[in-house]
Amino acid sequence: MTVVDVFQIVFSLSLSGSVLAGLILLCKALFRNKFAAQWHYFVWFLLIFRLLIPYAPESSLSVFNIFKPAVQGVIDIYNTETKAKVSLPESNPGVVINSGVESTGIPRQNEQASSSQETAIPQNNNSGYYGWLSIVWLIGILIAILYLALVNAIFSLRLKKGKKSNDPKVVQAVEQCKLEVGVHTAIPVFCSDQIKTPSLFGLIRPKLLLPPNMPATLSAEEMRYVFLHELSHLKRMDLWVNWLTLLLRAVYWFNPVIWFAFAKMQEDCEVACDAWVLKHINPEEHQKYGETIINMIKSVSMPRWIPVTTGMVNNKFSLRRRLTMITLFNRNSRKWSAAAIILFVLVGIMGLTSSVSKSEDVIQVPSAEKITSLAITGSVQVTVTKEEQETIRNFIDALKKARPYRDDVGTTPEFTVTLTMDDGEKILVFGGGERFQAIQMNGKQYNIQGEELTRYFDRMSMLNSNTDPLPNKEPFKLTYDEFAQMLRENGEKVETSNEMPRKIFGLTVQPRTLIINGERVWIWVYKDSDAAKSESKSVPVDGSGLSIGDKPYFYLAGNIIVLYVGSDNSVVKALEKVGTQFAGLTDPTSSESVSSSINNDFVIPGDAQTFLVSKEIADRNLFVTESIKTVYANYLRSKNDQLLKGLSPIDILRLYNQACDDKNFEIQVALINIPPYVSKDQFTQEIKNDKVLQENEQVLLESLHGFQGKVVERIVNNQKAYILLEKNGWYRMERDKNGIWKVGWMARA
């Protein structure tokens, strides 16, 4: 896919996004004070999805059934056409390529035509227009992203000159608000003259920013409201959403409608945060909260919008709206909640679907069963008979997904595919040569485009290339049937199968099976060799984790991954002719895999389905054992992590459970892989004071004392492991930066 292709997709999404933005604004205006603030904010996420996802299912309810002509009309501004004379290949002289017009130049079987005949084909100049526009678009994106990066960097540097607030009143107020809303992240407070209004800054390590004079001018009650508002942004992950919309503005910088829509979304975000705060304070405090916003507006002459922050009062013009929503909070949201949900779903269906294809937009291709032969002529000569039904079906399926194309592309087709039907009628499909595609059937000629059809012709072009970039024994992109046929041509006895085995090792595509010389082989077919090579890296080098007795053989054959488990040397030799072995080189029986001991009473996380080593622990004691009693005693005294080096994940878990049982909170926290943004001291203090957490922990520990179920230690990779407990969930274990196993953060289920 070229830059021009990407720009055309973005341009189309920009137009459809504008239509959806208008629909959202209309709905918001009609139900301005009827729906809750959260609805007014979350409905904008439909626009985000529309701008991110280039494909959408068809629906008769789609708003683009109405606006499709207008949208297409804008696109057609760039579709100026001229005429050019192009020589067609000798195999199909006299063909007139034009979109949906009667074809008068179709030669009959008894007709002769000059091989040098020239035919007028519409020549498209879009590549010139779109080429220059795509370059301008890319430059605009680079400028916008550089601006955002520069603003973020400069703001971060200037912020370092700010003073971290150690005012007990401020620190205490922040901590109290964090407890109220359940925020456990450390959030330092900085006073900086770079901002005019309370703001939140930083995705990974958030900071609360205040103007220098604000702590002295706010009462304790007002300060609480301000901090609750900013913490609501953190709790709702608004900073991440803000960055996403900034990047979308950069991509769609040329569309003012998108910019206006996201500006309105930012306003609705603040109103939604107000509603979030109102839920966490008493009803009698609502008026005081509104007065606090008014006072904040009065104290700020002109709030400066900083795109990388979330400010409490960035826009004076939205004040009336915010106060209105505060007044109406909970007054009508329940009454209109059902209508709000229905409208949200309806807008989603109307805006996230595409228009229904009209009859002239769909090519009526016959079923594969009606095709008796498929012949390819041109630089590659291939004939496929009806017996090879799978190959014909693949081509027909690709053809059915193609659509008539308004953009006429003038070029000489490289290939002609002739489909002969059981009634003798023929369908001609032309392709190759700068993505040219056309179909001639039922006396009409269409320019068409289809992604799968393009790949089909690209593959034929590759097969015709004299500069093969791959080793001879590795095929180009092949289908399942083509791979089977290649093995047959090598003299192997091959049978296809409809069996769909389970997925393994995180390989994302659904495997199929082939029977080669009487042995079952698993096949994964990828879109290209790069995708297959990338996914092959998820397979352990020794092929362990399969719960098998024989040696596994993994091969990479172009865009196909092959697995054979067995000892038939003829199958191994057959696969060595077409691919390169990349895994299964060591005997898997040397691994400690006991995955057969895993039954339905275990809960296995998705990222633990594939692993390096999995073994059942004979000693089911989940607390300190005799072998690590000395280590635990020394660690209690010194808290030196070097004492833990060499201990397995199960032993670290035993130390952790013992520390929890002894209510030694410092050792408990020391054995957790705390993320860098969390303060160990603060976290230790929180769990000391959290009585509910301690009670829950005690219940869990009681279930682990005398545990009689199976215990499995599963090493996923060098950085992650799981302790699986039969009928009792799991613990995730992680290696820290020093290579020592620790209990993972939030790692119990």
Beta strand ranges found along 49-183 (DSSP E): 81-87, 101-102, 118-124, 163-164
* 429-432 own/partner pairs: CB under 8 Å, 24+ apart: 429/399, 430/92, 430/95, 430/97, 431/456, 431/457, 431/460, 432/378, 432/457, 432/460, 432/461
Euclidean distance between CA atoms 688 and 677, whole angstroms: 20
Q: Render pLDDT for 44-62 as a digit per residue (tens, 0 to 9).
A: 999 999 999 887 887 888 8
pLDDT at residue 320, as a whole number: 64
Q: What is the DSSP string of 197-227?
A: S-EEE-SSS-EEEE-TTHHHHS-HHHHHHHH
Structure confidence by residue, pLDDT tens digits, 208-247: 888 887 777 778 888 888 888 888 888 888 889 988 999 9
Report DSSP state, residue 106: P
Residue 504 in contact with residue 558, Cβ under 8 Å?
Answer: no
Q: Which two tokens stand for residue 91?
A: 């195999």
Lowest-confidence range among 88-102, 308-322, 330-344, 458-472? 88-102
pLDDT band at 379 (very low <50, low <70, confident <90, very high): low
Q: What is the pLDDT of residue 261?
A: 92
Which pTM value belongs to this model? 0.47
- Region 105-130: mean pLDDT is 37
- Cα–Cα separations (whole angstroms), residue 394 to 11, 421, 474, 498, 561: 31, 16, 22, 15, 20
The torsion region of residue 182 among left (phi > 0), alpha (psi -120 to 50) and beta comes to left
Does 394 or 248 have the greater pLDDT score? 248
Q: Which helix (H) or strand (E) holds 459?
A: helix 451-464
The length of the chain, given as a count of residues: 749
Q: How far apart are CA 552 and CA 586, in angstroms?
A: 9
Q: What pLDDT shows up at residue 475?
A: 39
Strand partners, 564: 521, 553
Q: Which residues pair with 309 in a beta bridge?
A: 201
Q: Which domains does the chain have, with CATH numbers?
A: 1-79+125-161+234-356 (no CATH), 81-109+116-121+362-449 (2.60.40), 480-590 (no CATH), 595-748 (no CATH)
Work out the widest C-alpha separation in the chain, in whole angstroms.
Answer: 100
Query: Which pLDDT score is estimated for 516?
Result: 93
Q: Which of 658, 672, 651, 742 is nearest to 704 (CA)?
A: 658
Alpha carbon 677 to its chain's center = 25
Residue 65 has pLDDT above 50, yes or no: yes
Q: What is the CA radius of gyration of the chain?
A: 33
Q: Give phi and psi for 330, each to the nearest 5.
A: 65, 5
More confident residue, 181 or 389: 181
CA–CA gap between residue 412 and residue 435 (Å, rounded): 10
Per residue in 238-297, pLDDT (tens digit) is 889 988 999 999 999 999 999 999 988 988 888 888 888 888 888 888 888 878 877 776
Please tell me which residue, 364 or 77, carries the higher pLDDT value. 364
Number of H helices, E strands in the chain: 23, 26
The predicted pLDDT at position 309 comes to 62
Task: Give just the sign of the alpha carbon dihedral 446, 452, 455, 456.
Answer: negative
- Is the Cα torsion angle 653, 656, 661, 662 positive or negative in sign? positive
pLDDT at position 636 is 92
Q: What is the mean pLDDT of the chain?
A: 75
Evaluate the CA torsion angle 341, 343, 346, 348 in order and state its sign.
negative
CA 639 to chain centroid, in Å, comes to: 41
